[in-house]
Amino acid sequence: MKMGTALIYDEEMTKYKLLWVDPVCKIEVPERLIVSYEALVKSGLADRCVSIPVREATDAEILLAHSEEYLEAVKKTPFMHLEELMTFTQKYGDVYFHPNIYHCAKLAVGATLQLVDNVMTGKVRNGMALVRPPGHHSQSSAANGFCVFNNVAIAAQYAKKHHKAKRVLIVDWDVHHGQGVQYCFEDDPSVLYFSWHRYEHQSFWPNLKESDFDSVGSGKGAGFNVNVPWNKVGMGNSDYLAVFFHVLLPVAYEFSPDLVFICAGFDSAIGDPEGHMSATPDIFAHLTHLLMNLADGKVCAVLEGGYNLTSLAQSVCQTVQTLLGDPAPRPAQLGGACESALESIHSARSIHKKYWSCLQHAAAPFPEEPSSKNRRPAQQGGSQGPEGDAGGDAQREEEKVEEKEEEEIVWPEPLRRVAPSLRSALLLPDAVECPDGCARFSPAHGPGPLERARLRKSYLKESEDEASVTLLYNLTALLGQMEKNEIRNGLALVPDVSMAATLLTSASLSKRVLLVWMGEGPVPSQIIEDEKTLVVHINSMEPHEAQSKYYIPIPLKKGCGDTAGVMQAVLGLLLPLGYQYEPGLVLLARLPGYQVEGGLWQQLTCLLQGLALGHTLVLLQENETAPVGITASCLLGNAALSLGPLVAPGPEDVGSFERLRLRLQTDWPLLQTTAPEKR
Ligand SMILES: NCCCNCCCCCS
Ligand SMILES: [Zn+2]
């Protein structure tokens, strides 16, 4: 599987700036690129990337998304003097021209196309283009919002035309609506455009009705435009993750793109003068991670906005570090989405219910009460945990800050994300070959007699041979090295998965262990009773025992082999639970006889690595060596195989999901998808 992350940047794109007074445009400065690139160099990340040179886009490439008259008009700007540039600029909104901006705009497009070429031909797995001017606001015949040519829209057309891409996903996490991209693919079912954006009931720029959640695309493109408007400022990490888990990811997996673009604007990060949001830079590490198992990992991140030079640089580094495969950071205390975000999530899910089978259980669209549109939702109570108050507290905070105006918003610098020297250690019987890239685990020293006796007494029947004792000891040794961050993740082939899981959950030093139990066998009661272990059990059995807060069986009629069902469970239940629980260790136990298609097992193994700093320990049944290779590939950081378009999950499963979600969301608010009063 291809590895390698491309970084495309050229300082030529810093060589244009605002030449007159314009309070709207003054934030779009060359320093945006300079501080971002310097941060990548200083952190050592730039050196770990494959540096790809930029090039100028050709006319033909620019015409993939722009009219000839617009291109011809822009071509004249290098020869204009100041007054002519100002007059030319007046024709468009919230943008400025400069004698060198046409050159830079061609380089920004060319850089993006270079990224696409290298990803689509497999020279690298993914990458980032650090470009300006940005692109997502520019339209066929108009510059807008600091944008001249629509870098990502052109690149998506280019990927379809020159690389035979069939389905392209564009995730626009910039805080502004990329209306230019929406217009370009309005009726195109081969390009799924997702955007969240500050909206405030159309009172925020660009103040468009078509930025609301009910713009779903038109004609054959209906359903392939997903807008999530933020109707309040102060949205935080929980709000962003909730939108990914409950809106974007289910639809993206059903769509199954063969290429993913990120309109990577970082004005959605805390401290930004435009966004006024509260999400911290490390959240972009998780958002990137959650997209990296789509399209066999082919992800092209392209810089859009981002106007706070500190959070911009930090967020760019968080994104690139994840593209490089480094362990995800520990997410800040997550609560549930705030009430306003839940309303937006609910609106987007219900309007798209008829286009996406993964949303079929979303509640029906509410009849439009005339007042509801401009009714500002009441400040929600403090019921949703610290982050869950984002809309409330931050809103109040926001007003306070606005009064003081000058108060500088500060946030903690993201923690260093240290990759252990050894990535994947496998505990395998000697007869089983160790896949390339992994290390066969052997402990520094064997168990002493006391250790043997203790293990035998606690976990083995007298009859068990010495080999079993050694295996148990080696398991605890492997766990120990993981929890000391000397090893990132591991896999063990064991004679008895239940016993191994029991040993590991009790031996773990982590305050919280997430155990994902895949298959039909019962979870040992000792584990269920263990308060520090959250067990999520995906199986085909009917929900029988009364679930505790820490034992969550997810029944699938067709069992664990049901790709659509399992992905629904993973995206809409397991991951929100896992992120909220914030475990120090993730155990993934595959029970004997668990028949599952390789890609699905890989998706699970990869997605779970976003938790617990990547400390994932996979337990497989000794005599089932088939999954060793595909599991090891994912533990090494390769992307999971694409699943292909997903079919609808079984209707009976959908019902039990919703009942489960409704029952659990009081304890686990990140499971919420609708605002309280609407339940
Ligand atoms: N009152 C007008 C504000 C216009 N702000 C334009 C922001 C463009 C961001 C591009 S990512
Ligand atoms: Zn923006």
Confidence of residue 398 (pLDDT cuts 50, 70, 90): very low
| C-alpha to C-alpha distances, 4 to 108, 134, 333, 422, 437, nearest whole angstrom | 22, 25, 32, 18, 15
Average pLDDT rounded to a whole number, residues 514-530: 93
Atom of ligand 1 nearest to the CA of 93: 4
**637 CA to centre of ligand 2 in angstroms:** 31
Three-state DSSP class for residue 350: helix
- Res 396: pLDDT: 46
Homologous superfamily, domain 7-232+257-327? Histone deacetylase domain (3.40.800.20)
- Res 676: pLDDT: 83
| C-alpha to C-alpha distances, 399 to 219, 393, 402, nearest whole angstrom | 42, 10, 5
**276 CA to centre of ligand 2 in angstroms:** 11
Supply φ then ψ for residue 422, to 5 degrees: -105, 130
Residue 306 beta carbon below 6 angstroms from any ligand 1 atom: no
Exposed e or buried b for every residue in 37-47, given b needs 16+ CB within 10 A?
bebbeebebbe
Which amino acid belongs to residue 172? Answer: D
Locate 580 and state its tokens: 């909220």
Atom of ligand 1 nearest to the CA of 175: 11
* 256 has a pLDDT exceeding 60: yes
The correct CATH number of 484-671 out of 3.30.430.20, 3.40.50.720, 3.40.800.20, 3.20.20.150 is 3.40.800.20
* 523 has a pLDDT exceeding 60: yes
- Res 238: pLDDT: 98
* Model confidence pLDDT, tens digit, residues 453-511: 888 888 887 767 888 889 999 999 999 999 999 999 999 999 999 999 999 999 999 99
* Model confidence pLDDT, tens digit, residues 101-115: 999 999 999 999 999
* 185 has a pLDDT exceeding 60: yes
- Res 416: pLDDT: 94
CA dist 338 and 383 (Å) reads 10
Q: Same CATH topology for 7-232+257-327 and 484-671? A: yes
**Lowest mean per-residue pLDDT among 134-138, 202-206, 628-632, 673-677:** 673-677
Average pLDDT rounded to a whole number, residues 216-240: 98
Give the mutation target among 95, 144, 146 for probing the ligand 1 site: most ligand atoms within 8 A of CB: 146
Atom of ligand 1 nearest to the CA of 176: 11
Find the Cα–Cα–Cα–Cα dihedral 314, 320, 321, 324, rounded to 10°. 180
Locate 260 and state its tokens: 């993913």
Exposed e or buried b for every residue in 57-93, given b needs 16+ CB within 10 A?
beeebbbbbbeeebeeebeebeebeeeebeebbeebe
Q: 13 pairs with which residues across the strands?
A: none
Locate 394 and state its tokens: 């931050």
Give the mutation target among 22, 147, 148, 176 for probing the ligand 1 site: most ligand atoms within 8 A of CB: 176
**462 CA to centre of ligand 2 in angstroms:** 66
CA dist 434 and 457 (Å) reads 31
User: Residue 173 gets which letter from DSSP?
Assistant: -
Greater confidence (364 vs 85) lies with 85
Locate 619 and state its tokens: 């337990």
- Count of alpha carbons within 13 Å of 16, Cβ hemisphere only? 29
- Res 48: pLDDT: 98
Average pLDDT rounded to a whole number, residues 8-31: 98
* Residues classed as catalytic: 137
Exposed e or buried b for every residue in 241-277, given b needs 16+ CB within 10 A?
bbbbbbbbbbbbbbbbbbbbbbbbbbbbbbbbebbbb
Name the average pLDDT for the chain: 91
Placement of tokens 């070959």 in the chain: 433
Residue 145 beta carbon below 6 angstroms from any ligand 1 atom: yes
The H-assigned helical ranges of 355-416 are: 370-374, 385-388, 395-404
- Res 377: pLDDT: 36
Residue 398 beta carbon below 6 angstroms from any ligand 1 atom: no
Exposed e or buried b for every residue in 417-434, given b needs 16+ CB within 10 A?
bebbebbbbbbbeeeeeb
CA dist 527 and 550 (Å) reads 10
Residues 6+ apart with CB under 8 A from 602: 293, 630, 631, 633, 634, 640, 641
* Model confidence pLDDT, tens digit, residues 46-68: 999 999 999 999 999 999 999 99
Q: Is the ipTM of this complex over 0.90?
A: yes
Quick one: CA dihedral 406, 411, 412, 417, positive or negative? negative
* Model confidence pLDDT, tens digit, residues 434-458: 999 999 999 988 889 998 888 888 8
Quick one: which ligand is closest to 138's CA?
A: 1
- Whether the Cβ atoms of residue 527 and residue 507 lie closer than 8 Å to each other: no
Q: 517 pairs with which residues across the strands?
A: 537, 589
* 384 has a pLDDT exceeding 70: no
**Lowest mean per-residue pLDDT among 85-94, 163-172, 232-241, 655-664:** 655-664
Q: What is the CA radius of gyration of the chain?
A: 25
* Model confidence pLDDT, tens digit, residues 338-356: 999 999 999 999 999 999 9
- Count of alpha carbons within 13 Å of 591, Cβ hemisphere only? 19
Nearest Cα residue to 193 out of 157, 168, 166, 163 = 168
Placement of tokens 């929900």 in the chain: 543
Average pLDDT rounded to a whole number, residues 3-10: 96
Atom of ligand 1 nearest to the CA of 136: 11
* Model confidence pLDDT, tens digit, residues 296-314: 999 999 999 999 999 999 9
Question: Sheet harboring 299-303: ordered strands across?
Answer: 50-51, 5-8, 126-129, 299-303, 259-264, 168-172, 191-198, 225-230
- Res 408: pLDDT: 84
**14 CA to centre of ligand 1 in angstroms:** 19
Q: Where are the domains of the chain?
A: 7-232+257-327, 484-671
**426 CA to centre of ligand 2 in angstroms:** 45
* 373 has a pLDDT exceeding 50: no
- Whether the Cβ atoms of residue 7 and residue 50 lie closer than 8 Å to each other: yes
